Structure 1
Amino acid sequence: MPMKIRGTIGLIGVIILVIVGVSFVVHNHSDNQSREDRQAHQTTNRKGKRATQKTIVIYFSETGTTKQAAQKIGQQLGVKTVALKPKQAYSKEYTKMASTAKAQVDRNQHPELAKLNVDLSQYQTIWLGFPTWFHRPPMLINSFFDDVQLKNKTIIPFTTSASSNISESMPYLKKMIKNKQITLHKGLTANDDQAIDKFVKQNK
């Protein structure tokens, strides 16, 4: 083979090797970068998941008003909301429901809770919602503090009521948590979106 042709072929070979080598380096760097990006994304997701798991919204609602407030708070915080229910449901008829609720207050009866389908051990802060009945929390809230392990947790109470403020419920809540090593945060009267928005922003 003529010397000139061999030299040309050799030069082409060198160029091909250089191109292959550069491609390998770029591809390897891209793989490493992608792997690092995925790991960073997964770490962020894990951190975000851990952050949201520290807070939960638990609420008791019979007419749906407190449920709406709870869902609003849950959406703003980006956390889970769970309904608190009595094992024996209240009557759907308002007068009968009110009569039962009043009798529970008068007799200091703590109705049995339905199973709460959530593991609260992973949560540090609980936003606890309820309607104000007879100027105080429903007796089901007493049952919640009786039966659920809440040691070292922070409770942020919120209530819905046509006429009562959360301040009426706070003395009862303070009695419920006495000697239980629970932190009771200042509460919210969650009757409108503006009040909810302001309170959530201040207490995230």
Structure 2
Amino acid sequence: MFGSKKSRAEDETSASQPVHDDLSEEADARRDAEAKKGRPTPKRSHQESARRQPLVNKDRKVANRQAKEQQRQERDRARIGMMNGEEKYLTRRDKGPQRRYIRDYIDARFSIGEIFIPAAILILVIAFTQPVQIQQYFTYAVWGLIALIVLDGFVLNYILKNRLRNKFGEVERGITFYAVMRSIQLRPLRMPKPQVKRRQYPE
């Protein structure tokens, strides 16, 4: 009886021995492969989950680049719209039908103030290159030009207020300063850009 039990245990031990040997050989082979690569071999489930993960960093960079490009296009569009006098892109200073009317009227006429900046540059050059006697004559000319600009400003203010009352029924505050400042600027440098030709007065 005892002999049969002992022989049965020996048979079970000998049968399980090849299985353990196979497992140990497989583990040794896996360790050898990991040692050659310098890192452990990831499991298949980990590899599949890594492939399914979105490329967040790459997508974020693309989104940021697209957002910057869109902002740049919007800024360019706003700048062009402001230069062309489009109402929604204008600043508070330039918005409104009365301000547009003033711009069109001033851009259609010739204002004495338009020659003030070129005259000032000419006087500055003469002050450093010509004798004192000639400088005095140009000084008188500058004072005369300033007087004409002031007189032209009064005339412009009177005409514009009458036109604005007839067209809109009332006159907004601050239009005198707005009109005079635009009238003394060189026509190509005015912002928003002139939308009418010379003598093309608004109705």
Q: TM-score, normalised by structure 1?
A: 0.33
Q: Which has the higher contact order (CA 8 A, sep 6+)?
A: 2
- Structure number with greater Rg is 2
- Give the structure with the higher percent strand: 1
